[in-house]
A = this chain, B = another copy of it.
Amino acid sequence: MDFDSSQPIYKQIIDYYKKQIVRGELGPGDKILSQREYAEQARVNPNTVQRAYREMEALQMVETVRGQGTFIRVSEETQKRLKREMEESLLAYFVKEMKSLGYEQDEILGIVQRKLEAQGEDPEDDSIQKC
């Protein structure tokens, strides 16, 4: 629950829940933090949280019941679709960027492999983050 400045906070909140859903750590019916609770714990303004929650509602990720709270409301379909979409866009972005750095299709796999092996030994190496 801490934010970097590369993206607006409200988007980072949405992203956080998206990943939770994709990983199956949050599922249909689960209650998430109330807007106030979230705001207090994450030390952000309630309006910022509300914006995130409102957009999650528009994205059909959650349902909000006034006076009761906010609940995860994704069908299994949606959960799978979310995962597929996020994975696909991440992959496409990665391959496209690698190619634009001048790598050929064949080289990419090797580079990833080396990276993963290196991380296997030192999994804490998070390096710099792009984007």
Contacts and interface: CB of A to CB of B under 8 A. Distances in A.
Given A93-B129, A101-B23, A119-B95, A109 B109 contact: yes
A85 interface: yes
Given A19-B101, A94-B94, A109-B109, A88 B119 contact: no
A97 interface: yes
A109 B113 contact: yes
Interface string A96-131: 111011100100110111011001100101111111
Given A94-B90, A108-B116, A112-B91, A85 B128 contact: yes
A1 interface: no
A24 interface: yes
Nearest to A67: B45
A88 B23 CA distance: 25
A101 B15 CA distance: 11
A101 B128 contact: no
Interface string A54-93: 0000100000000000000000000000010111111111
A22 interface: yes
A40 B101 CA distance: 26
